[in-house]
A and B are shown apart, each in its own frame.
Chain A
Amino acid sequence: MKAATLIATLCVAIAMTGCGTKKGFEKPGFAFGCPVGDGKIGDMKDLVKIKSAKEGGRSADIELEEIRCTTTGDLLKIDVVLYNDESDVERLQYKFRWMDAEGMRAADEESWKPLLMYGNSRQTITTIAPNAKARDFRFIVMGQE
Protein backbone atom coordinates (compact mmCIF):
# COMPACT_ATOMS: atom_id res chain seq x y z
CA MET A 1 0.00 0.00 0.00
CA LYS A 2 2.80 2.35 1.00
CA ALA A 3 4.68 1.55 -2.19
CA ALA A 4 1.56 2.28 -4.30
CA THR A 5 1.12 5.70 -2.62
CA LEU A 6 4.79 6.49 -3.18
CA ILE A 7 4.56 5.56 -6.89
CA ALA A 8 1.38 7.63 -7.31
CA THR A 9 3.02 10.65 -5.62
CA LEU A 10 6.06 10.30 -7.86
CA CYS A 11 3.87 10.12 -10.99
CA VAL A 12 1.96 13.28 -9.99
CA ALA A 13 5.25 15.10 -9.26
CA ILE A 14 6.70 14.12 -12.66
CA ALA A 15 3.50 15.14 -14.45
CA MET A 16 3.47 18.52 -12.71
CA THR A 17 7.12 19.16 -13.55
CA GLY A 18 6.29 18.40 -17.17
CA CYS A 19 3.41 20.91 -17.21
CA GLY A 20 5.47 23.59 -15.50
CA THR A 21 7.93 23.80 -18.38
CA LYS A 22 6.30 25.17 -21.53
CA LYS A 23 6.47 22.46 -24.20
CA GLY A 24 9.11 20.79 -22.07
CA PHE A 25 12.09 22.28 -23.95
CA GLU A 26 11.53 26.06 -24.10
CA LYS A 27 14.28 28.17 -22.52
CA PRO A 28 13.26 31.09 -20.27
CA GLY A 29 12.92 34.29 -22.32
CA PHE A 30 12.03 32.34 -25.48
CA ALA A 31 8.71 31.40 -27.09
CA PHE A 32 8.49 29.01 -30.02
CA GLY A 33 12.28 29.19 -30.10
CA CYS A 34 12.23 32.98 -30.62
CA PRO A 35 13.78 35.46 -28.18
CA VAL A 36 11.06 37.42 -26.36
CA GLY A 37 12.84 38.72 -23.27
CA ASP A 38 10.38 39.61 -20.54
CA GLY A 39 7.44 39.78 -22.97
CA LYS A 40 4.50 37.61 -21.95
CA ILE A 41 3.64 35.29 -24.80
CA GLY A 42 0.44 33.29 -24.37
CA ASP A 43 0.15 31.95 -27.89
CA MET A 44 1.43 32.32 -31.47
CA LYS A 45 -0.70 35.45 -32.05
CA ASP A 46 1.14 37.25 -29.22
CA LEU A 47 4.51 36.25 -30.69
CA VAL A 48 3.57 37.41 -34.19
CA LYS A 49 2.37 40.70 -32.74
CA ILE A 50 5.65 41.54 -31.01
CA LYS A 51 7.95 40.20 -33.73
CA SER A 52 6.37 41.80 -36.80
CA ALA A 53 5.48 45.23 -38.05
CA LYS A 54 3.64 46.57 -41.07
CA GLU A 55 5.25 49.63 -42.64
CA GLY A 56 4.58 51.99 -45.52
CA GLY A 57 1.48 53.62 -46.99
CA ARG A 58 0.06 50.53 -48.65
CA SER A 59 -0.17 47.75 -46.13
CA ALA A 60 0.05 44.14 -47.25
CA ASP A 61 -3.31 42.37 -47.06
CA ILE A 62 -1.98 39.08 -45.74
CA GLU A 63 -2.02 37.25 -42.45
CA LEU A 64 1.14 36.40 -40.53
CA GLU A 65 0.30 32.97 -39.22
CA GLU A 66 3.44 31.74 -37.52
CA ILE A 67 6.96 32.71 -36.56
CA ARG A 68 9.30 29.99 -35.37
CA CYS A 69 12.96 30.18 -34.51
CA THR A 70 15.85 27.84 -33.99
CA THR A 71 19.63 28.13 -34.15
CA THR A 72 22.07 26.72 -36.64
CA GLY A 73 25.50 26.82 -35.07
CA ASP A 74 25.52 30.22 -33.37
CA LEU A 75 23.18 31.87 -35.88
CA LEU A 76 19.46 32.47 -35.35
CA LYS A 77 17.29 30.83 -38.01
CA ILE A 78 13.71 31.99 -38.58
CA ASP A 79 10.65 30.66 -40.38
CA VAL A 80 7.76 33.03 -41.05
CA VAL A 81 4.52 31.55 -42.41
CA LEU A 82 2.34 33.95 -44.40
CA TYR A 83 -1.23 33.29 -45.52
CA ASN A 84 -3.16 35.10 -48.21
CA ASP A 85 -6.77 34.40 -47.32
CA GLU A 86 -8.11 36.42 -50.27
CA SER A 87 -8.71 34.88 -53.70
CA ASP A 88 -6.66 37.64 -55.41
CA VAL A 89 -2.90 37.60 -55.91
CA GLU A 90 -1.10 39.73 -53.31
CA ARG A 91 2.22 41.42 -54.02
CA LEU A 92 4.22 42.44 -51.00
CA GLN A 93 7.75 43.16 -49.87
CA TYR A 94 9.48 42.22 -46.67
CA LYS A 95 12.73 42.41 -44.77
CA PHE A 96 14.17 41.49 -41.40
CA ARG A 97 15.67 43.94 -38.94
CA TRP A 98 18.36 42.53 -36.66
CA MET A 99 19.17 43.58 -33.10
CA ASP A 100 21.80 42.42 -30.65
CA ALA A 101 21.13 41.28 -27.07
CA GLU A 102 20.99 44.92 -25.90
CA GLY A 103 18.50 45.94 -28.58
CA MET A 104 21.10 47.79 -30.68
CA ARG A 105 21.22 47.29 -34.43
CA ALA A 106 23.30 44.20 -35.16
CA ALA A 107 23.56 44.49 -38.96
CA ASP A 108 22.95 46.89 -41.85
CA GLU A 109 19.35 47.45 -42.86
CA GLU A 110 18.34 44.71 -45.31
CA SER A 111 16.97 45.52 -48.74
CA TRP A 112 13.26 44.94 -49.41
CA LYS A 113 12.51 41.59 -51.02
CA PRO A 114 9.49 41.32 -53.33
CA LEU A 115 7.11 38.40 -52.86
CA LEU A 116 4.13 37.23 -54.89
CA MET A 117 1.43 35.27 -53.09
CA TYR A 118 -1.29 33.49 -55.00
CA GLY A 119 -4.83 33.64 -53.67
CA ASN A 120 -5.66 31.31 -50.77
CA SER A 121 -2.06 30.19 -50.42
CA ARG A 122 0.60 29.90 -47.74
CA GLN A 123 4.30 30.64 -48.06
CA THR A 124 7.13 30.11 -45.64
CA ILE A 125 9.99 32.58 -45.63
CA THR A 126 13.19 31.24 -44.14
CA THR A 127 16.12 33.40 -43.16
CA ILE A 128 19.25 33.25 -41.07
CA ALA A 129 20.85 35.94 -38.91
CA PRO A 130 23.70 37.76 -40.67
CA ASN A 131 26.05 37.22 -37.70
CA ALA A 132 26.21 35.75 -34.21
CA LYS A 133 25.65 39.18 -32.62
CA ALA A 134 22.10 39.28 -34.04
CA ARG A 135 20.10 37.76 -31.18
CA ASP A 136 16.71 39.37 -31.90
CA PHE A 137 14.72 40.48 -34.95
CA ARG A 138 11.61 42.11 -36.38
CA PHE A 139 9.85 40.94 -39.51
CA ILE A 140 8.80 44.00 -41.53
CA VAL A 141 6.19 43.72 -44.27
CA MET A 142 4.78 46.27 -46.70
CA GLY A 143 2.52 46.18 -49.77
CA GLN A 144 4.19 46.66 -53.15
CA GLU A 145 3.60 50.00 -54.85
Chain B
Amino acid sequence: MTNTQRSQRMKPTPISRRALVIAAVASIALVAGCAGPKTRYGDAGKVETVTNTFGSTDLQMLSEQMSQSMLTEAPAIAGGNLPIVTIQEVKNKTSEYIDTRAITNRMRATLQKSRRVRFAVDEADMKKQTGELQRQDSEYYKKEKSAQMGEMIGAGFRITGEITSIVKETKKVKDVYYQLFLSLTNIQTGIEEWSDTKEIRKTTER
Protein backbone atom coordinates (compact mmCIF):
# COMPACT_ATOMS: atom_id res chain seq x y z
CA MET B 1 0.00 0.00 0.00
CA THR B 2 1.45 3.39 -1.07
CA ASN B 3 1.48 6.44 1.22
CA THR B 4 -1.19 8.16 -0.87
CA GLN B 5 -3.46 5.14 -0.58
CA ARG B 6 -2.87 5.01 3.18
CA SER B 7 -3.67 8.71 3.73
CA GLN B 8 -6.81 8.41 1.62
CA ARG B 9 -7.90 5.46 3.71
CA MET B 10 -7.27 7.25 7.03
CA LYS B 11 -8.90 10.50 5.94
CA PRO B 12 -12.18 10.81 7.85
CA THR B 13 -15.39 10.93 5.92
CA PRO B 14 -17.63 14.06 6.25
CA ILE B 15 -20.02 12.17 8.55
CA SER B 16 -17.37 10.97 10.97
CA ARG B 17 -15.90 14.52 11.09
CA ARG B 18 -19.32 15.88 12.11
CA ALA B 19 -19.61 13.19 14.76
CA LEU B 20 -16.20 14.15 16.09
CA VAL B 21 -17.20 17.83 16.36
CA ILE B 22 -20.45 16.94 18.17
CA ALA B 23 -18.59 14.66 20.58
CA ALA B 24 -16.01 17.37 21.30
CA VAL B 25 -18.69 20.01 21.95
CA ALA B 26 -20.59 17.58 24.21
CA SER B 27 -17.41 16.80 26.15
CA ILE B 28 -16.63 20.51 26.65
CA ALA B 29 -20.18 21.17 27.84
CA LEU B 30 -19.97 18.22 30.21
CA VAL B 31 -16.62 19.34 31.64
CA ALA B 32 -17.84 22.94 31.98
CA GLY B 33 -20.92 21.67 33.80
CA CYS B 34 -18.87 19.63 36.25
CA ALA B 35 -16.42 22.42 36.98
CA GLY B 36 -19.15 24.93 37.84
CA PRO B 37 -20.38 25.53 41.42
CA LYS B 38 -23.11 23.25 42.65
CA THR B 39 -25.55 24.47 45.31
CA ARG B 40 -27.54 22.07 47.43
CA TYR B 41 -29.49 22.32 50.67
CA GLY B 42 -27.86 20.52 53.57
CA ASP B 43 -28.57 19.46 57.13
CA ALA B 44 -28.32 22.53 59.41
CA GLY B 45 -27.68 20.25 62.37
CA LYS B 46 -24.82 18.25 60.88
CA VAL B 47 -21.35 18.21 62.41
CA GLU B 48 -19.34 20.87 60.59
CA THR B 49 -15.56 20.44 60.34
CA VAL B 50 -14.65 22.65 57.37
CA THR B 51 -12.07 24.63 59.39
CA ASN B 52 -11.20 24.70 63.08
CA THR B 53 -12.46 28.22 63.73
CA PHE B 54 -15.67 28.66 65.74
CA GLY B 55 -18.46 27.05 63.72
CA SER B 56 -22.13 26.12 63.70
CA THR B 57 -21.61 22.85 65.63
CA ASP B 58 -19.77 24.74 68.40
CA LEU B 59 -22.56 27.29 68.61
CA GLN B 60 -25.24 24.58 68.75
CA MET B 61 -23.41 22.42 71.30
CA LEU B 62 -22.44 25.21 73.69
CA SER B 63 -25.89 26.80 73.75
CA GLU B 64 -27.64 23.43 74.19
CA GLN B 65 -25.33 22.21 76.96
CA MET B 66 -25.55 25.51 78.83
CA SER B 67 -29.35 25.59 78.60
CA GLN B 68 -29.53 22.03 79.95
CA SER B 69 -27.17 22.85 82.80
CA MET B 70 -29.22 25.90 83.72
CA LEU B 71 -32.48 23.95 83.62
CA THR B 72 -31.18 21.24 85.95
CA GLU B 73 -28.62 22.98 88.16
CA ALA B 74 -29.78 26.56 88.70
CA PRO B 75 -32.04 26.45 91.79
CA ALA B 76 -34.01 29.53 90.74
CA ILE B 77 -34.94 27.86 87.42
CA ALA B 78 -35.06 24.17 88.40
CA GLY B 79 -37.39 25.09 91.27
CA GLY B 80 -40.14 25.94 88.78
CA ASN B 81 -40.70 29.48 90.10
CA LEU B 82 -40.69 30.91 86.56
CA PRO B 83 -38.06 33.56 87.30
CA ILE B 84 -37.60 36.65 85.13
CA VAL B 85 -34.12 36.80 83.65
CA THR B 86 -32.21 39.30 81.52
CA ILE B 87 -29.18 38.54 79.38
CA GLN B 88 -26.17 40.80 79.67
CA GLU B 89 -23.05 40.80 77.55
CA VAL B 90 -21.08 37.59 76.99
CA LYS B 91 -17.57 38.89 76.31
CA ASN B 92 -15.62 37.45 73.43
CA LYS B 93 -12.06 37.06 74.72
CA THR B 94 -10.91 34.87 71.85
CA SER B 95 -8.69 36.02 69.01
CA GLU B 96 -11.41 35.49 66.41
CA TYR B 97 -14.78 37.07 65.70
CA ILE B 98 -17.57 35.23 67.51
CA ASP B 99 -21.11 36.57 67.68
CA THR B 100 -21.77 35.73 71.35
CA ARG B 101 -25.30 37.06 71.01
CA ALA B 102 -26.01 34.15 68.66
CA ILE B 103 -25.12 31.80 71.54
CA THR B 104 -27.32 33.61 74.09
CA ASN B 105 -30.18 34.01 71.60
CA ARG B 106 -30.20 30.26 71.01
CA MET B 107 -30.10 29.63 74.76
CA ARG B 108 -32.93 32.08 75.30
CA ALA B 109 -35.11 30.30 72.74
CA THR B 110 -34.38 26.88 74.33
CA LEU B 111 -35.07 28.12 77.86
CA GLN B 112 -38.29 29.87 76.83
CA LYS B 113 -39.55 26.74 75.10
CA SER B 114 -38.95 24.83 78.34
CA ARG B 115 -41.50 27.20 79.94
CA ARG B 116 -39.35 27.51 83.04
CA VAL B 117 -37.97 31.00 82.47
CA ARG B 118 -39.29 34.36 81.32
CA PHE B 119 -37.04 36.99 79.84
CA ALA B 120 -37.17 40.72 80.50
CA VAL B 121 -35.99 43.10 77.81
CA ASP B 122 -32.19 43.27 77.83
CA GLU B 123 -29.82 46.22 77.45
CA ALA B 124 -29.46 45.73 73.71
CA ASP B 125 -33.24 45.95 73.12
CA MET B 126 -34.01 48.62 75.72
CA LYS B 127 -33.99 51.50 73.21
CA LYS B 128 -36.49 49.72 70.97
CA GLN B 129 -38.72 48.93 73.97
CA THR B 130 -38.77 52.46 75.43
CA GLY B 131 -39.09 53.94 71.93
CA GLU B 132 -42.26 51.91 71.34
CA LEU B 133 -43.63 52.89 74.77
CA GLN B 134 -43.05 56.57 74.00
CA ARG B 135 -44.67 56.21 70.58
CA GLN B 136 -47.78 54.63 72.12
CA ASP B 137 -47.83 57.36 74.78
CA SER B 138 -48.29 60.00 72.07
CA GLU B 139 -51.56 61.78 71.17
CA TYR B 140 -52.09 59.40 68.22
CA TYR B 141 -53.11 56.44 70.40
CA LYS B 142 -56.18 55.72 72.55
CA LYS B 143 -54.97 55.72 76.15
CA GLU B 144 -57.01 52.66 77.16
CA LYS B 145 -55.78 50.62 74.17
CA SER B 146 -52.07 51.38 74.37
CA ALA B 147 -49.21 50.26 76.62
CA GLN B 148 -48.77 52.41 79.69
CA MET B 149 -45.52 53.89 80.95
CA GLY B 150 -44.23 52.57 84.24
CA GLU B 151 -45.64 49.04 83.88
CA MET B 152 -42.47 47.21 82.80
CA ILE B 153 -41.25 44.44 85.11
CA GLY B 154 -37.60 44.21 86.01
CA ALA B 155 -35.65 40.96 85.89
CA GLY B 156 -34.79 39.12 89.09
CA PHE B 157 -31.69 37.50 87.62
CA ARG B 158 -29.04 38.36 85.05
CA ILE B 159 -26.99 36.06 82.84
CA THR B 160 -23.47 37.13 81.98
CA GLY B 161 -20.23 35.43 80.94
CA GLU B 162 -17.31 35.18 78.58
CA ILE B 163 -15.84 32.92 75.94
CA THR B 164 -12.08 32.38 75.83
CA SER B 165 -9.80 30.36 73.59
CA ILE B 166 -6.29 28.94 73.63
CA VAL B 167 -4.70 28.33 70.24
CA LYS B 168 -1.54 26.28 69.77
CA GLU B 169 -0.04 25.84 66.33
CA THR B 170 2.93 24.07 64.78
CA LYS B 171 3.69 23.46 61.11
CA LYS B 172 1.68 20.26 61.16
CA VAL B 173 -0.94 20.73 63.88
CA LYS B 174 -3.35 23.47 64.95
CA ASP B 175 -5.14 22.94 68.24
CA VAL B 176 -7.97 25.23 69.38
CA TYR B 177 -9.57 25.07 72.81
CA TYR B 178 -12.72 27.08 73.59
CA GLN B 179 -14.23 27.64 77.01
CA LEU B 180 -17.59 29.28 77.58
CA PHE B 181 -18.31 30.49 81.10
CA LEU B 182 -21.78 31.68 82.11
CA SER B 183 -23.25 32.72 85.43
CA LEU B 184 -26.70 33.57 86.78
CA THR B 185 -26.77 36.27 89.45
CA ASN B 186 -29.61 37.39 91.68
CA ILE B 187 -29.89 41.13 90.94
CA GLN B 188 -31.43 41.98 94.33
CA THR B 189 -28.90 40.17 96.49
CA GLY B 190 -25.89 39.99 94.18
CA ILE B 191 -25.54 36.29 94.96
CA GLU B 192 -24.36 34.12 92.10
CA GLU B 193 -26.98 31.36 91.91
CA TRP B 194 -25.40 29.23 89.19
CA SER B 195 -22.34 29.11 86.97
CA ASP B 196 -20.92 26.59 84.55
CA THR B 197 -18.18 26.14 81.97
CA LYS B 198 -18.38 24.15 78.75
CA GLU B 199 -15.37 23.24 76.66
CA ILE B 200 -14.60 22.29 73.08
CA ARG B 201 -11.30 21.09 71.63
CA LYS B 202 -10.63 20.97 67.90
CA THR B 203 -7.44 19.77 66.26
CA THR B 204 -6.47 20.08 62.62
CA GLU B 205 -3.57 18.07 61.21
CA ARG B 206 -2.08 19.11 57.89
Contact = CB atoms under 8 A, between A and B. Distances in A.
Are A and B interaction partners?
A: yes
Interface of A: 72-75, 77, 93, 95, 107, 109-114, 127-128, 130-132, 144-145
A60 B95 CA distance: 35
B46 interface: yes
Contact of B61 (A72, A74, A75, A113): A113
A58 to B, nearest CB: 12
B70 to A, nearest CB: 10
Contact of A75 (B45, B60, B79, B114): B114
Interface residues of B, number: 21
Contacts of B46: 111-112
Instruction: Pick the 4 closest A-B CB pairs, nearest first.
Output: A111-B45, A111-B60, A114-B47, A128-B68
B84 to A, nearest CB: 18
Interface of B: 43-47, 56-57, 60-61, 64, 68, 71-72, 78-80, 110, 113-116
A131 B64 contact: no
* A73, A77, A109, A111 pick with most chain B CB within 10 angstroms: A111
Chain A interface main SS type: loop
B57 A73 contact: no
Contacts of A110: 45, 64
A72 B60 contact: no
A131 B72 contact: no
A48 to B, nearest CB: 22
B113 A114 contact: no
B47 A112 contact: yes
B149 to A, nearest CB: 35
Contacts of A112: 43, 45-47, 57
A114 B57 contact: yes
Given A110-B64, A111-B60, A111-B61, A128 B47 contact: no
